[in-house]
Chain A
Amino acid sequence: MEETKEPVATEGREKMTVLVAVDESEGSLYALSWALDNLFVAAVGGAPNKPQPLGRLVLVHAQQPLQQFIMHPIGPAVYATSSVIDSVKKAQEQNSRDVIERAKGICRRRLVEAEAVVVAGDPKETICQAAEQMQTDLLVVGSRGLSKIRRAILGSVSDYCAHHANCPVLIVKPPKTSH
Chain B
Amino acid sequence: MAAKAEDASTAAAVGKAVMVVGIDDSEHSFYALQWTLLHFFSPAVRPSESYKLVIVTAKPTPTSVISVASPGAADVLPFVESDLRKISSQVIEKAKDICAAHSVLDVEYEVVEGDARNVLCEAVDKHHAEMLVVGSHGYGAIKRAVLGSVSDYCAHHAHCTVMIVKKPKPKH
Q: Could you tell me which A residues sit within 8 Å of B by CB distance?
A: 1, 4, 6, 8, 10, 12-13, 16, 34, 38, 42-46, 50, 54, 137-138, 143, 148, 151, 158-159, 162-163, 165-173, 176
Pairwise interchain contact A43-B50, C-beta atoms closer than 8 A: yes
- With a cutoff of 8 Å between Cβ atoms, the chain A residues found around residue B15 in the complex are 44
Min CB gap B164→A, angstroms: 5
Any chain A CB within 8 A of the CB of B71? no
**Known contacts A8-B38, A170-B162; A44 and B168 CB within 8 A of each other:** no
Return B172 CB to nearest CB of chain A, in Å: 12
Cβ–Cβ < 8 Å partners of B35 in chain A: 8, 168
Chain A residues in 8 Å Cβ range of B162 = 170-171, 173
List which B113-172 residues lie within 8 A (CB) of chain A. 130-131, 136, 141, 144, 151-152, 155-156, 158-166, 168-169
Nearest-Cβ distance from residue B157 to partner chain A, whole angstroms: 10
Q: Apart from A13-B42, A13-B44, A173-B158, list 7 A-B contacts with CB within 8 A.
A: A4-B27, A16-B39, A151-B156, A158-B155, A159-B155, A170-B164, A173-B161
Nearest B residue to A45 via CB reads B48
Contact A171 B47 (CB under 8 A): no
- Chain B residues with CB under 8 Å of A16's CB are 39
The answer to whether A166 touches B155, judged by C-beta atoms less than 8 angstroms apart, is no
Say yes or no for B45: interface residue by CB 8 A criterion.
yes
Q: What residues of B have a CB within 8 angstroms of the CB of A137 in the complex?
A: 39
Q: Looking at chain A's contact residues, is the secondary structure mostly helix, strand, loop, or mixed?
A: loop
B163 near A168 with CB under 8 A, answer yes
Q: Does B17 contact A (CB under 8 A)?
A: yes
> Can you list the 9 inter-chain pairs with the closest CB atoms, starting with the nearest?
A43-B47, A12-B44, A168-B165, A12-B42, A13-B45, A170-B163, A43-B48, A13-B42, A172-B161
Contacting residues, chain B, for A1 (C-beta < 8 A): 25, 27
A6: contacting residue among B34, B136, B161, CB under 8 A: B34
Q: Are B161 and A162 in contact (CB under 8 A)?
A: no
Give the Cβ gap from A153 to chain B, nearest Cβ, in Å.
15
Decide: B38 and A162 in contact? CB cutoff 8 A: no
B102 contacts A by Cβ under 8 Å: yes
Nearest residue in A to B130 (C-beta to C-beta)?
A38
Cβ B27 vs Cβ A170 within 8 A: no
Q: Are B155 and A34 neighbours in the complex by a CB distance under 8 Å?
A: no
Chain B residues within an 8 Å CB radius of A143? 155
Chain B residues with CB under 8 A of A44 = 15, 47-48, 50
Q: CB-nearest residue of chain A relative to B31?
A: A6
Chain B residues within 8 Å of A165, by CB: 166
Q: Is the CB of B168 within 8 A of A167?
A: yes
Q: Is the CB of A168 within 8 A of B45?
A: no
Residue pairs across A and B with Cβ atoms less than 8 A apart, 16 shown, are A8-B35, A10-B102, A13-B44, A13-B45, A38-B130, A44-B47, A45-B48, A143-B155, A158-B155, A159-B155, A166-B169, A167-B168, A168-B35, A170-B161, A171-B162, A173-B160
